[in-house]
Chain A
Amino acid sequence: MNTSFSTVLRVWGVAVTLFLFTGADWLRFRGPNGSGVSVDQGLPVGWSETENIAWKVDLPGRGVSSPIIIGDRVVLTCCTGFRQDRLHVICFHAKTGEKLWERQLWATGRTMTHPAICTATPTAASDGKRIFAYFSTNDLVCFDLEGNLLWLRGLLNEYPNASNSLGLASSPTVVGETLVVPIENDSQSVTVGLAADTGTTRWKLDRPKLANWASPVVLGDQPGQLPQVVLQSGSRLTVHEPASGRELGVYASGCASQPSSVVGDGVLYVPSGGLTALRFTPGSKEPDLLWQNNRLGASTATPLLYRGKVFTVNGSILKAGDMKTGKLLWQLRLKGSFSGSPIASDGRIYLFNESGLGQVIEIGEDRGRRLKGGELGEKILSSPSMAGGALYIRSDAHLWKISSTATGG
């Protein structure tokens, strides 16, 4: 087969794959723009060892990162070694769980984290054709979907104090051709924008010297809006042009350092003062404050916007508020405590508590109703992912695919 013909075939293959799966992909932490919402239907409401587990695979090591799903590929990061300095990126086949490829690198940065997390805590990101895997060690690696290395950076080389002894957890996000990587901490706090195709630095922002584990989101989900990157921190929230890093807006109040902001209908919902709804309008650097409700505060989990409501998890309480007014609508006591964030699909919320109990909540106007869910029996600190009618969740030892059919819907 000559090179040009094989190239044509590869391009065609990628195009077909993208066409078939773009709508169902889960390309970053909490899926489309960090919303946690999938348009998929038919996900199971209950599972057990013998029911609705399409596959379960062993993992080589720990991780709090979530899987991302690109077409028929499920990509996940792990770390191994006494010093958690062996960093793994693994690609599985979504239908079978077969391992398609695995790549491993050595940490070039610091490996210390809080014992609850590990160096494989940030979730990888993808633009549908490339995979960007980031680790708490400041190592950042880009592969194509076949596992070919495209570029590699060890960001501690340039920013030697850009680390956090508790571990970095913010996940990168790709906006157009720029990969935004937050490395915010108490010492050398920066966020960088890298060229997605080469990994070279486009811009670097000095950020507030405060530990921060939240992930960026992108404003601009409305027609005619240009995408803008939102970076929150303990001292303020700022909005930036993705290609240049230029600051476009600022909300001068401190935000939570763990739950991330979410965007819905052009409004930014920020874990600040409980929960605060902001609207940035073109030409104005400061946002309009739409509402603020300190009863909707989130502890660790990122809020969820779904079907006109905003949901937060505080301790073991799931709270539902009105997206437009911020009025608290109802609360439901869940089982256990939560590090991972909720996701939603088909009128239901899916959450996994730290002991591995998956809980499914049917959303009603006045209350939430608990459905069956399922026990996985292992500690789970990560957030689930959702694509192709299936739910994916990982522990330190396993990755599960939960779906209503054996082949994963």
Chain B
Amino acid sequence: MAGVRWGVFLASFYPEEFMMILRGAVAGLVLFGILLSGSAVRSAEVSTLLSSIRGVVSDGSGNQVAARSWRELVTQDATHLPAILAALDGAKPLPANWLCLAVDTIAERTVARGGSLPVKRLETFVLDTAHAPRGRRLAFEWLSRVDATAADRLIPKMLLDPGVEFRRDAVARLLLEGADLIAKDQKPAAVAVYRRALEGARDNDQVGTIVDKLKSLGEQVDLPRHFGFLMDWRVIGAFDNTGRKGFATEFPPERELNRKAEYEGKEGQVHWQDYTTKDPYGMVDLNQPLGKLKQTVAYAWTDFHSEAAQQVEFRLGCKNAWKVWLNGELLFGRDEYHRGMRLDQYRMKATLQPGANQILVKACQNEQTESWTVEWQFQLRVCDATGTAILSAGAPPKP
């Protein structure tokens, strides 16, 4: 009521000015209404375009339809960026790339013509961990281009973020902090910082640096536990891989897992033997229990105890031909020999059942005789999508 009284008061003293303000306000309201309804229409259009793009399939058959939608999508203004980023939630990798490229295109063109990005909404999006890490990262990268303070404000709180790139950035900052504390001879504080960094670190280079620093400070790290390497196995071999035919041959362990069984191997009877790797990176070196053999196949079997049914990732490193089964179901196999190996070389999605889960690995050695073809080995770990270890229930920590 006070506003109305003020209006009557002003109108009585300044009638022309009051009418101008009133007309402006009405025009503004009308314009706002038009914009609002236009934006609603645009949002509906954007939603349709996003659905079309999200439906693109890997064989390329939907490319033409998706391309038309994409061309239309990138004509939208930057206010639609959060909606496009949100469409990355649950999107498969291929349509996710279509969407990322749309975000880049709209944002780049907006910045190039002097326009503004919706920085507050981008930041809100970055901080909302319910969104897909990829979309959040893209939002962060565009936010950082127009807001130089964004990284300093946001990254230090992202050590345990679901996005591995955010974690990596946060760990990198802690590594600098730790090095600074060592330089100042503040060792207990440095240990604390490196321990904190290790909590977030998932990339091997950063973990390696942290482990080295902690060792130099008199601390030990249980690397198998940190990464979730499977250390305790039963192995059996060798079976025949002459002419590399063993990769496709179904030897008895692929049909049954019976720890007391004996089978005819390549050179006589073979049986399961226990093998525990001592390697901090969980390397199962088959040359140790079976000898440096060539043109051979071996199997390694372990039981993984899960407290509940859960989706996990199996991450394998192997430079020999290999196959992996979970509870009798083949997850994947690859017949490539001696082209290199690294941690997390292959990632396989898997579902653990409650209780015991049988994991079987087949590793094939070929006929090559060069010095770099001696290795007959693999490393396998179980983790979540960020690379955080998922341990077999009851797995004891190593000192």
Q: Measuring CB to CB, which residues of chain B are less than 8 angstroms from any residue of chain A?
A: 56, 58-61, 63-64, 66-67, 70-71, 74, 93-94, 96-98, 100-102, 104-105, 108, 134, 165, 168, 203, 205, 319, 332, 334-337, 339-342, 345-346
Contacts and interface: CB of A to CB of B under 8 A. Distances in A.
A102 B339 contact: no
A161 B67 contact: no
Interface majority SS (helix, strand, loop, mixed), chain A: loop
8 contacts: A101-B108, A104-B101, A105-B97, A105-B100, A106-B100, A152-B56, A200-B59, A201-B59
Nearest to A86: B165
B98 A149 contact: yes
Interface string A99-131: 001111110101010100000000000000000
Contact of B339 (A103, A147, A164): A164
Contacts of A82: 168, 203, 205
B74 A148 contact: yes
B59 A154 contact: no
Contacts of A101: 105, 108
Contacts of B337: 186
B203 A199 contact: no
A165 B168 contact: no
Contacts of A149: 67, 70, 98, 101-102, 105
A185 B100 contact: no
A153 B339 CA distance: 25
A198 B100 contact: no
B105 A165 contact: no
A248 to B, nearest CB: 26
Contacts of B205: 82
A172 to B, nearest CB: 15
* Size class of the contact patch on chain A: 35 or more
A153 B93 CA distance: 10
Contacts of A270: none
A307 to B, nearest CB: 39
A336 B90 CA distance: 50
B58 A158 contact: yes
B67 A154 contact: no
A106 B97 contact: yes
B98 A161 contact: no
Interface string A144-168: 0001111111100110110011100
A187 interface: yes
Interface string A184-208: 0111000000100011110000000
Nearest to A113: B340
A245 to B, nearest CB: 16
A157 B94 CA distance: 9
B336 A185 contact: yes
B319 to A, nearest CB: 7
Interface in A54-108: 81-82, 101-106, 108
A194 B58 CA distance: 13
Contacts of A141: 97, 101
Contact of A198 (B63, B134, B345): B63
Contacts of B346: 110
A152 B60 CA distance: 7
Given A82-B203, A112-B345, A166 B339 contact: yes
Give the residue among A106, A139, A149 with the most B Cβ atoms within 10 A: A149
Contacts of A390: none
Contacts of B334: 161, 187
A112 B340 contact: yes
Contacts of A102: 104, 108
B341 A165 contact: yes
A200 B61 contact: yes
